[in-house]
Amino acid sequence: MNRKALAFILCGFVLLPWTLAVAAEDPSPGWQRWSDSQFPRAEEAGKLILLDLSAEWCGFCKQMDATTYQDPKVLALIEQYYIPVRIEDEREPELAARFREFGRPGTLVYDGEGNELVIKKGYIKPQWMEWMLQALVQEHL
């Protein structure tokens, strides 16, 4: 093995941990678990609750994760005005069953008092999500 090949291989081993760390960075919302304690928390923080209903088998859920929840404008609105909460069917089947009627993906928004403000079924494009989140902030905060 020549020196160039050996240097290339060693460089790969040195850079591999850094490459994996960069690839693991996920700009999606910091999803939290569902809890009734989220309501007083939202009320105190002056925020709304964005509830995402998701499932591993759901292609449109994956599409929303790859597009809508990666959009910088959507992420900025969520970070500033919302508490992002996700219920995944496979991880919390009993809780997910309570929300079965809303389909997957399902998007619900609540105020801090627990009032449902919006129910959306299906995939939401990034621009539409941005408009919806902005409208809810203007109307309810």
CA distances 43 to 34, 48, 49, 131, 133, Å, are: 15, 8, 10, 22, 17
Phi first, then psi: what are they for 2, rounded to 5°?
-85, 170
Phi first, then psi: what are they for 120, rounded to 5°?
-125, 130
Name the nearest CA neighbour of 31 among 98, 107, 89, 84.
Answer: 84
Q: What is the pTM of this model?
A: 0.80
Cβ neighbours of 58 (radius 10 Å): 19
69-94 average pLDDT score? 96
Cβ neighbours of 40 (radius 10 Å): 12
Helix (H) or strand (E) holding 87: strand 82-88
Distance between terminal CA atoms of the chain?
66
Q: According to the model, what pLDDT value does residue 1 have? A: 63
Give per-residue pLDDT as tens, 94-120. Answer: 989 999 999 999 999 999 999 999 999
115-139 average pLDDT score? 97
Residue 134's Cβ-side half-sphere holds a number of Cα atoms within 13 Å equal to 9
Average pLDDT of the chain to the nearest whole number: 87
Q: According to the model, what pLDDT value does residue 97 have? A: 92
pLDDT band at 27 (very low <50, low <70, confident <90, very high): confident
Residue 22 CA, chain-centre distance (Å), reads 19
Identity of the residue numbered 35: S
Length of the chain counted residue by residue: 141
Question: pLDDT exceeding 90 applies to what percent of the chain?
Answer: 77
